Amino acid sequence: MHSKQLKSLESRLYQPLSIPIIGKCLQRKAALALAQDGSPDAARVLAQGVTRLEDEKILAIISEALSQLRKPVCIDAVCQVWQTTREQKLANLLIKNGWVASAPVKVKVLTALKTGKLAVITGGGQEIVEPLLEAFKDKDSEIASRASQSAIALTNADTIDYLCQQWAKTRDKLLEQVICQGKYVARQPVKVKVLTALKTGKRQTIANESEKIIAPLLQACRDNDNAIATEAKMLLGELNNQSAIDALCNEWANTRAQHLTEALQKGRYIATQPIEVRVLTALKLDRSAVVTTSGQEVVEPLIRALKDKDSEIASRASQSAIALTTTDTIDYISQQWAKTRDKLLEQIICQAKYIAKQPIEVRVLTALKVEQLENVKQERAEIL
């Protein structure tokens, strides 16, 4: 229908002639013509007629025509008129036919809420988030109530991620309420995943995550939200992934922060790498066997640990250094002493009574140093 013709019919519908009989007749004809047109513009005019006309016969024609609509664009037009006017007769029509607008998204959300088609909301994409939150404050208590119900029952992972990201960015109280009630934990990005897991009391859902969670977890320990900070510190001592444990141990070794020390002790964590941190964590937890039964790679970090500022570590390093059990480690420490005649290495060798197994020259030297020549009679003869 041309716009000129549409305007003419609209005029007849809303402004009938002053002669009642003729005016009513033309009004009915206009309503029928619009009903038969089937265009979204005609549907809009008819929907507006519901809000403006009082003649029951005309309204019956319009209502019947609107009930026959099947095209989504026509239904969208009616839904938009309802959204603007909130006319109860149109609301009844929407509910009766179960209409949900396809666009725009605000009208889609409102009509889904009004008609009780909540699956449209709960399974919707991230575009529904803002209009859904707006609907919390809708004057229609039914819409507001259903908005609250839908917001905590979302099933689309992308939508949940978006909702969580917006909360992490703004710390909006309404978003926070939705996330906590819905128990939502984002999949990504990792910072938001960590924050939402902590905020919703679901920290165990990320206890198996890799080292990528450590940086945001450490940051969360300083969060202004006390609940988040407390949960973060708790989780530090409950990690199950070794790469995450290694990252935490490394951070502890670098900072020696008290809350990291507490996490280390709570989780009984020993790093696998780097070797420096492995030695330090083993000493801190009094797991000396990890050091004393290891290979020569522990010698240098163990020697450095003798001078550690943490007296507990230094003391245990001293005990471990004279309790080494592997031959290659004892040989290595003996060789280093023979090469450098370092006083600290000499002290260790003498206290532990270490005798190298090889090379033969070092074996004899260490035997001489610890005054156990009877153990190397054959080797001494070979050297002589």
Residue that finishes a domain, picked among 75, 96, 117:
96
102 contacts 72 by C-beta, under 8 angstroms: yes
Q: Are residues 90 and 118 in the same domain?
A: no
Residue that finishes a domain, picked among 130, 155, 184:
184
Q: Are residues 1 and 91 in the same domain?
A: yes
Greatest distance between any 2 Cα atoms in the chain: 140
Specify the pLDDT at position 213: 98
How many structural domains comprise the chain?
3
Residue 22 domain-assigned (yes or no): yes
Residue 109 domain-assigned (yes or no): yes
The segments of the chain whose pLDDT lies below 70 read 1-6, 8-27, 30-31, 375-384
Residue that finishes a domain, picked among 68, 96, 124:
96
Residue 230 domain-assigned (yes or no): no
Specify the pLDDT at position 269: 98
Count of CB atoms situated within 10 Å of the CB of 127 = 15
Phi, psi of 273 (to 5 degrees): -160, 155
Specify the pLDDT at position 26: 64
Specify the pLDDT at position 308: 97
Residue 62 domain-assigned (yes or no): yes
Q: Are residues 2 and 84 in the same domain?
A: yes
Residue 315 domain-assigned (yes or no): no
Specify the pLDDT at position 61: 82
264 contacts 252 by C-beta, under 8 angstroms: yes
Residue 144 domain-assigned (yes or no): yes
Domain span holding position 121: 100-184
Residue 365 domain-assigned (yes or no): yes
pTM of the model: 0.85
Alpha-carbon distances of 67 from 26, 73, 97, 125, 244, rounded to whole Å: 22, 14, 7, 29, 61
Q: Are residues 71 and 117 in the same domain?
A: no
The half-sphere exposure of 93 on its side-chain side, counting CA atoms within 13 A, is: 26
Q: Are residues 157 and 84 in the same domain?
A: no
Query: What is the residue-wise DSSP string for 232-301?
Result: HHHHHT----HHHHHHHHHHHHHH--HHHHHHHHHHT----SSHHHHHHHHHHTT-HHHHHTS-GGGHHH
